[in-house]
């Protein structure tokens, strides 16, 4: 999962104590990072945004409606 620090926050990797990049990084989906999301220390980024793609949208077409 891809996360980035919340505005004004410095978050460290749990083992190396290296600061998470301000641009965000791919991190494991584990208790440490889930807790950081829940406390608002990091923000979970949508994959479309991470890859620089336009978010996908679904088009729903209605069938003919006979009265």
- Does 22 fall in a domain? yes
- Does 54 fall in a domain? no
Domain coverage including residue 11: 2-48
- Is 40 a residue whose pLDDT tops 50? yes
State the pLDDT at residue 49: 60
What is the model's pTM? 0.69
Count how many domains the chain has. 1
Q: Which whole number is the average pLDDT over 40-64? A: 65
Q: What DSSP line would sit under the chain, residue for residue?
A: -EEEEPTT---B-TTT-PBPPTT-EE---SHHHHHHHHTTSEEEPPHHHHTTPPPP-----PPP---
- Partners of residue 42 on adjacent β-strands: 5
- Does 60 fall in a domain? no
pLDDT band for 62, please (50, 70, 90 cuts). Answer: low
- Partners of residue 43 on adjacent β-strands: 4
State the pLDDT at residue 46: 86
């Amino acid at each position: 999962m891809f996360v980035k620090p919340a505005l004004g926050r410095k978050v460290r990797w749990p083992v190396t104590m290296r600061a998470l990049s301000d641009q965000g990084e791919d991190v494991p989906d584990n208790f440490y990072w889930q807790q950081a999301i829940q406390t608002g220390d990091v923000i979970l980024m949508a994959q479309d945004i991470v890859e620089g793609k336009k978010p996908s949208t679904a088009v729903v077409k209605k069938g003919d409606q006979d009265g």
